[in-house]
């Protein structure tokens, strides 16, 4: 430790807690202008003579911490003795951990399976996976005064109330609460006063994060908030009730984030998965491209795994990517300012060349592990269509101030995954598009992080603006939060054509239970039938598709029935079988074997 006393103009140097010989008294002065840097650690003033070793921890303190010899602590961090040692919530093993390798059979047991992709299907024929945009319901907040960040997130508290979090002036975090999901009010909090607000839960410059409930924490720290903190680092905050947050002093990542961090706990992998914006990517025309990297950690409180890259490693990881010219990327901000994310972690959410229009990128991915079915992950990436720094001129001209637009519109799309790492995006129809709603012509659609389940509906929320990103003309009084209503499990469906029957066959499976239930909508003139096949693809007597009683109607949960066998499929439990669906004019959302 080095300790400087201004009163005595004395520097003391301790090694392993032992005081070393005192140097002469000195008076600290400002560094004169010259070649030497104003501060360097592990190198000399001109960044030469690097330390032949590693610095594990570094602490700057105000005041005289050590006047006399001392016993060095095991760690400077107060988290040293508080790292998570609890048994983490564990879900079932991932069924589709590696989609490229087919198993002999898939033991689905009683898992609910959503038809969001062909992971469990051997033959789809002419059926197609289709996006089902949610219904835009009422505007729940509008005529918003002052600063109100677009990076919203929602969650349900222990009382069944719906909370909406975002930041207000100075990027202080605030909360609104509703008992019906429609009428949101700003609570009067004991320590919530700030300017015209009484609902502030965190008096710090944050604004780049989200609140979530941590299933592995003690109740005093159950509510967590992860965010960029004062543009210095990604930090973690905690609260017992989500109404007043305290920062863990130890940052979790040495980067500053350019947009909202997304995080969820993955019970099937027993890791916390988070996504962070990187501005290291470059568009085809050389402008900044937004991409999102993924971090994973098993312990939220201690610094998350991070390995600095050498310049050589930076160049190697940059191969095949369009990136900024400056490598290493952190040099863009100077030696004492944390840089943004670059190539240290895998890029997961990025625009796709020859798929997305040029000069289009991902504003925020809004990734989540679906709470009501295993092996199911959704993301709702906000897609930003740029006018500025774009071509051709017929597109670029839309940025002209005379047109009173701005830098571009934004929509929400939907992506799906079976493991939280490998994602498939369905761009059309847009999950939440722009356009008129309740008399307001919206130009942006930022779907909020989080979902609320109410009966057979999933509620989501979206923040919309009647002006473009970086607008020349604003209509801030018409900024709005809209409630979205989605069918339970209804984000994507496997659709069959109206004009003919199609057959869909699963890969080999084993199951548990005596009932097969479907979430399906045939409307009035469509239908579906289900049959069991043996390992060789032959009909199983009594359970063939021809013997299945027509499924006709709109059902969130309907049991499949056969003419002579009824609904009981217990005699097939534990056998390796395949399912065959015969469908026409139908939308198949999910299936599940159950015991009833």
The secondary structure of 320-362, three-state, reads: CCCECCCCCHHHHHCCCCCCCECCCCCEEECCCCCCCCCCEEE
Q: What is the pLDDT at residue 376? A: 98
Share of the chain above pLDDT 70, in %: 96
Residue 122 lies in a domain: no
Which secondary structure element, helix H or strand E, spans residue 447, and what is its range?
A: strand 444-447
Residue where one domain finishes, among candidates 465, 492, 519: 492
Do residues 505 and 123 lie in contact, with contact meaning Cβ atoms separated by under 8 Å?
A: yes
pLDDT digits (tens, 9 = 90+) for 227-266: 999 888 999 999 999 999 999 988 999 998 889 999 999 9
Do residues 388 and 332 lie in contact, with contact meaning Cβ atoms separated by under 8 Å?
A: no
Shared domain check, 508 and 388: no
In order, the DSSP letters of 542-590 are TS-GGGBPPB-SEEEEEE--BTTTBT--GGGTTS-BEEEEEEES-EEEE
pLDDT digits (tens, 9 = 90+) for 20-72: 999 888 888 887 888 887 778 888 888 889 889 888 888 888 888 898 999 99
Q: What is the pLDDT at residue 75? A: 81
Query: Does residue 134 surpass a pLDDT of 60?
Result: yes
With CA atoms as reference, report the closest residue to 133 among 396, 469, 431, 395.
431
Instruction: Count Cβ atoms below 10 Å from residue 140 Cβ, excluding itself.
Output: 19
Which secondary structure element, helix H or strand E, spans residue 206, and what is its range?
A: none
Q: What is the pLDDT at residue 41? A: 84
Task: Dig out the tokens for 367 from the structure.
Answer: 């990734």
Shared domain check, 4 and 40: yes
Do residues 56 and 72 lie in contact, with contact meaning Cβ atoms separated by under 8 Å?
A: no
Helices vs strands, H then E, count in the chain: 2, 41
User: What is the CA angle 127-507-273, rounded to 5?
Assistant: 90
Give residues with Cβ within 8 angstroms of 371, minimum separation 6: 451, 453
Do residues 130 and 140 lie in contact, with contact meaning Cβ atoms separated by under 8 Å?
A: no
Helices (H), 389-429: 393-396
Shared domain check, 343 and 228: yes
Q: Half-sphere exposure of residue 319, counting CA atoms within 13 Å on the CB side? A: 6
Shared domain check, 516 and 377: no
pLDDT digits (tens, 9 = 90+) for 291-322: 999 999 999 998 899 988 888 898 999 998 99
Over residues 458-462, the mean pLDDT reads 98
In order, the DSSP letters of 272-304 are EEEEEEEEEEE-TTSSEEEEEEEEEES-SSSPP
CATH of residue 316's domain is 2.115.10.20
Shared domain check, 520 and 487: no
Residue 84 lies in a domain: no
Residue 99 lies in a domain: no
With CA atoms as reference, report the closest residue to 444 among 478, 468, 421.
468
Predicted TM-score (pTM) of the model is: 0.90
Give residues with Cβ within 8 angstroms of 147, minimum separation 6: 167, 168, 169, 171
pLDDT digits (tens, 9 = 90+) for 323-375: 988 776 666 555 556 788 989 999 999 999 999 999 999 999 999 999 999 99
Bond prior to 385 in cis (omega within 30° of 0): no
Shared domain check, 555 and 451: no
Shared domain check, 52 and 9: yes
Residue 61 lies in a domain: yes
pLDDT digits (tens, 9 = 90+) for 78-124: 666 665 567 899 999 999 986 667 899 999 999 999 999 999 999 99
Over residues 573-592, the mean pLDDT reads 98
Report the domain count for the chain: 3
Do residues 140 and 400 lie in contact, with contact meaning Cβ atoms separated by under 8 Å?
A: no
Shared domain check, 411 and 349: yes
Q: Which residue has the tokens 């070393």?
A: 20
Please, what's the b/e burial string for 236-245 (b: 16 or more CB within 10 A of its CB; e: otherwise)? bbbbeebbbb
Provide the domain limits for residue 243.
130-492
d(CA 239, CA 361): 34
Q: Which residue has the tokens 């040495």?
A: 254
Residue 124 lies in a domain: no
Task: Give CA separation, 548 vs 232, 534, 591, in Å.
Answer: 62, 16, 16
């Amino acid at each position: 430790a080095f300790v400087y006393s201004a009163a005595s103009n004395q520097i003391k140097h301790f090694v392993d807690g032992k005081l070393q010989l005192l140097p002469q008294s000195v008076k600290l002065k400002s560094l004169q202008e010259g070649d030497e840097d104003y501060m360097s650690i592990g190198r000399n003033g001109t960044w030469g003579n690097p330390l032949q070793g590693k610095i594990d921890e570094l602490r700057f303190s105000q005041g005289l911490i050590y006047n006399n010899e001392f016993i060095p602590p095991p760690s400077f961090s107060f988290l040293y003795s508080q790292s998570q040692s609890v048994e983490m919530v564990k879900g079932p093993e991932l069924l589709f951990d590696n989609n490229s390798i087919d198993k002999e059979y898939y033991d689905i047991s009683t898992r609910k399976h959503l038809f969001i992709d062909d992971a469990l299907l051997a033959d789809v024929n002419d059926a197609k996976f289709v996006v089902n945009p949610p219904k835009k319901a009422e505007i729940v907040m509008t005529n918003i005064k002052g600063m109100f960040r677009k990076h919203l997130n929602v969650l349900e508290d222990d009382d069944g109330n719906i909370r909406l979090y975002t930041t207000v002036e100075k990027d202080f975090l605030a909360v609104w609460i509703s008992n019906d999901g429609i009428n949101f009010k700003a609570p009067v909090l004991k320590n919530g006063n700030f300017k015209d607000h009484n609902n502030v839960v965190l008096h710090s410059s944050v604004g780049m994060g989200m609140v979530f409930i941590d299933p592995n924490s003690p109740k005093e720290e159950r509510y967590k908030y992860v965010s960029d903190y004062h543009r210095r680092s990604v930090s973690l905050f905690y609260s017992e009730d989500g109404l007043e947050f305290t920062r863990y002093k130890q940052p979790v990542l040495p980067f500053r984030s350019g947009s909202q961090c997304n995080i969820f706990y993955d019970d099937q992998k027993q890791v916390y998965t988070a996504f962070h914006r990187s501005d290291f990517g470059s568009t085809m025309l050389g402008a900044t491209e937004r991409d999102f990297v993924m971090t994973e950690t098993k312990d939220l409180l201690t610094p998350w795994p991070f390995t600095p890259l050498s310049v050589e490693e930076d160049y190697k990881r940059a191969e095949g990517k369009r990136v900024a010219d400056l490598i290493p990327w952190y040099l863009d901000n100077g030696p004492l300012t944390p840089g943004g994310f670059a190539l240290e972690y895998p890029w997961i959410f990025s625009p796709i060349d020859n798929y997305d229009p040029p000069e289009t990128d991902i504003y925020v991915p809004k990734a989540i592990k679906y709470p009501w079915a295993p092996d199911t992950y959704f993301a709702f990436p906000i897609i930003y269509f740029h006018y500025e720094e774009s071509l051709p001129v017929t597109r670029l001209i839309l940025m002209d101030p005379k047109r009173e637009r701005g830098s571009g519109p934004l929509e929400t799309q939907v992506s799906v995954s079976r493991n939280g790492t490998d994602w498939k995006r369905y761009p059309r129809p847009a999950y939440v598009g722009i356009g008129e709603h309740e008399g307001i012509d919206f130009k942006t659609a930022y779907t909020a992080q989080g979902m609320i389940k109410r009966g057979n509906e999933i509620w989501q929320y979206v923040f919309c603006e009647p002006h473009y990103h970086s607008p020349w003309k604003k209509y801030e009084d018409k900024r709005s939060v809209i409630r979205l209503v989605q069918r339970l499990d209804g984000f994507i469906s496997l659709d069959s054509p109206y004009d003919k029957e199609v057959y869909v066959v699963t890969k080999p499976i084993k199951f548990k239970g005596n009932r097969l239930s479907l979430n399906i909508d045939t409307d009035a003139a469509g239908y579906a039938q289900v049959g069991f096949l043996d390992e060789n693809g032959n009909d199983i007597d009594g359970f063939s598709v021809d013997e299945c009683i027509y499924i006709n109607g709109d059902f969130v949960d309907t049991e499949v029935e056969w003419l002579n066998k009824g609904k009981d499929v217990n005699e097939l439990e534990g056998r390796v079988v395949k399912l065959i669906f015969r469908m026409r004019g139908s939308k198949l959302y999910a299936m599940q074997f159950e015991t009833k």
